Amino acid sequence: MKNEIDAQYEYMEKVNKINTGKNLKYAIYTMGCQLNENDSEKICGMLENMGYSKTEEVASADFVIFNTCCVRENAEDKLFGKIGEMKRQKEERGTILAIGGCMMQEKHIVDKLHKSYPFVDIIFGTHTMHKLPEDIYHILERKNKIEDVIDIDGEIYEGLPIKRNDATKASVTIMYGCNNFCTYCIVPYVRGRERSRKPSDILKEIESLASEGYKEITLLGQNVNSYDGGNGYKFSDLLRDVNKIEGIEKIRFVSPHPKDFKDDVIDAICECDKVSKIIHLPLQSGSSNVLKVMNRRYTKEQYLDLVEKMKKKIPNVVFSTDIIVGFPGETEEDFEDTLDVVRKVNFEQVFMFIYSRRVGTPADKMENQVPEEIKHERFDRLKALVESQIEENNKKYIGTIQKVLVEGRSKNNIDMLTGRTDSNKVVIFEGKEEWINQVIDIKIVSEHMWYLKGEIL
Ligand code: SAH
Ligand code: SF4
Ligand code: F3S
């Protein structure tokens, strides 16, 4: 049987032939997490191979693609609004409209698309993204609608073209899917079971990124520390091997699961000088009762013990986290436990979410849903605490010298350069073009909530 990816390259060539000389443009909306963004980079790679070039102006695009997310409700409202806006452009311009990503793995969403938005040309899921060239070819040839969603776990396909968004930092997906089934979460249903890429494929990709000049790598997966490279090769082995790659200066990873954060990973973080010392450790809730119903499989105490262990073993370690407020049955006391953990750990960054009911998840069926106004009131209290901590933490940076990976010109102030510290804080400072994509020492002179200001030494 012909290799699936070779077959797709043939379709890319066929579409490219059809498109030649037409100067066609595409626009892409990426609505989800970093994995979704990494998928979008592959979608862009395929589209460019087919003769489309990228535009930020949707109105002038001949091909529009939405890469969707369904982890929270507001993403859905946003998508349907945007699809509605596309109707006229399609009629006037004949723009091809493709919708892909996690939300397309949900049957009720695809049904709604067929019923209310019949003008969508291509619907594809997370397991069939690589077949986009074939789908586009059929649309161009036959002009009838295509739905290409499968419900079984997709295979891992290597070798798709990729067009990256950034020239300094790159994301590398190391595993797909999730086996954890936290009771609030839709991801395991739309991304399937865990499948790890081969270590050799991952290392080859990072080596080639290093040779292209990339300095920072983020290893991606829903639960990276259950990475299984085969023959006993674990996430800690991967960290060590990536750390050896010349040219790469910074290694980050998202997300590990606290229940799987074993000593071998902590030891690897200590040993590997390039691994960032800000660890993203999703808490979700500080209450052992809530954590149990969430199926997180750790308690408040186990989480705090893990943080303490890491603080002891890893010099200068700091943490970021994800927290959900208003999970079904969350009492005032449970919420106080969350605030308590936030105070104790003193996170550098907290991604805060209001619990959102997801069709098909166990938590959606729980009867003790927390009223909206209580969720919002708790969210505001958590936000106030987090912001006061960030302000305090930022002060500690003033006068320190930070190694900053320079990413480019600041979007808000073109005269300034922007980069990030090891702890992922944005730093802006005056500097020369040639520092871009270098790691340089910067003295922090002031703090401004969401960024620090610095000076060259
Ligand atoms: N696998 C990762 C991240 C998954 S999604 C992890 O376990 O950490 C990113 C974040 O979205 C989660 O960490 C969680 O905080 C949030 N999230 C997931 N489902 C949610 C829901 N139904 N409502 C609100 N937030 C949710
Ligand atoms: Fe969702 Fe939990 Fe899996 Fe993260 S670990 S993707 S929160 S089920
Ligand atoms: Fe990511 Fe959203 Fe899918 S968070 S895995 S794009 S549901």
| pLDDT-above-90 percentage for the chain | 93
**Which residue among 222, 227, 293 is best mutated to probe the pocket of ligand 2, counting the most ligand atoms within 8 A of its Cβ?**
222
| pLDDT-above-70 percentage for the chain | 100
The verdict on the CB of residue 285 being under 6 Å from ligand 2 is no
Ligand nearest to the CA of 194: 2
Looking at the predicted structure, is the pLDDT value of residue 317 above 90?
yes
Average the pLDDT over each of 81-90, 146-155, 163-172, 412-421 and give the range with the smallest value: 146-155
Task: Please report the pLDDT score of residue 2 as a whole number.
Answer: 62
Distance from the alpha carbon of residue 254 to the mean position of ligand 2, in angstroms: 12
Looking at the predicted structure, is the pLDDT value of residue 65 above 60?
yes
Q: Is 388 exposed, middle or buried (0-12, 13-18, 19+ CB in 10 A)?
A: exposed
The verdict on the CB of residue 189 being under 6 Å from ligand 1 is no
Residue 267, helix vs strand vs coil: helix
Task: Please report the pLDDT score of residue 413 as a whole number.
Answer: 87
The residue-averaged pLDDT of 16-34 equals 96
**Which residue among 180, 223, 361 is best mutated to probe the pocket of ligand 2, counting the most ligand atoms within 8 A of its Cβ?**
180
Place of tokens 């030494």: 457
Average the pLDDT over each of 79-88, 171-180, 200-209 and give the range with the smallest value: 79-88
Mean pLDDT of the chain: 95
**Which residue among 175, 223, 280 is best mutated to probe the pocket of ligand 2, counting the most ligand atoms within 8 A of its Cβ?**
223
Nearest CA to ligand 2 atom 5: 180
d(CA 327, CA 335): 10
Nearest atom in ligand 3 to the alpha carbon of residue 35 is 1
The residue-averaged pLDDT of 156-174 equals 95
The residue-averaged pLDDT of 347-376 equals 97
Phi, psi for residue 177 in degrees, rounded to 5: 80, 180
Pocket of ligand 3 (CB under 6 A): 32-33, 35-36, 69-71, 102, 187, 190-191
Domains and CATH numbers, the chain: 2-148 (3.40.50.12160), 166-258 (3.30.750.210), 277-395 (3.30.750.200), 401-456 (2.40.50.140)
Distance from the alpha carbon of residue 227 to the mean position of ligand 2, in angstroms: 14
Measure the N-to-C terminal CA separation of the chain; round to a whole number of Å.
60
**376-392: per-residue pLDDT in tens?**
999 999 999 999 999 99
The residue-averaged pLDDT of 281-306 equals 98
Distance from the alpha carbon of residue 185 to the mean position of ligand 2, in angstroms: 6
pTM reported for the whole predicted model: 0.96
Phi, psi for residue 229 in degrees, rounded to 5: -85, 5
Looking at the predicted structure, is the pLDDT value of residue 1 above 80?
no
d(CA 196, CA 422): 27
d(CA 156, CA 149): 16
Nearest atom in ligand 2 to the alpha carbon of residue 255 is 4
Ligand nearest to the CA of 102: 3
d(CA 146, CA 414): 44
Looking at the predicted structure, is the pLDDT value of residue 143 above 80?
no
d(CA 93, CA 27): 14
Sign of dihedral through CA atoms 351, 234, 161, 102?
Answer: negative
The verdict on the CB of residue 185 being under 6 Å from ligand 2 is yes
Ligand nearest to the CA of 69: 3
**424-457: per-residue pLDDT in tens?**
999 999 999 999 999 999 999 999 989 999 999 8
The residue-averaged pLDDT of 67-81 equals 89
Task: Please report the pLDDT score of residue 142 as a whole number.
Answer: 80
Phi, psi for residue 373 in degrees, rounded to 5: -65, -35
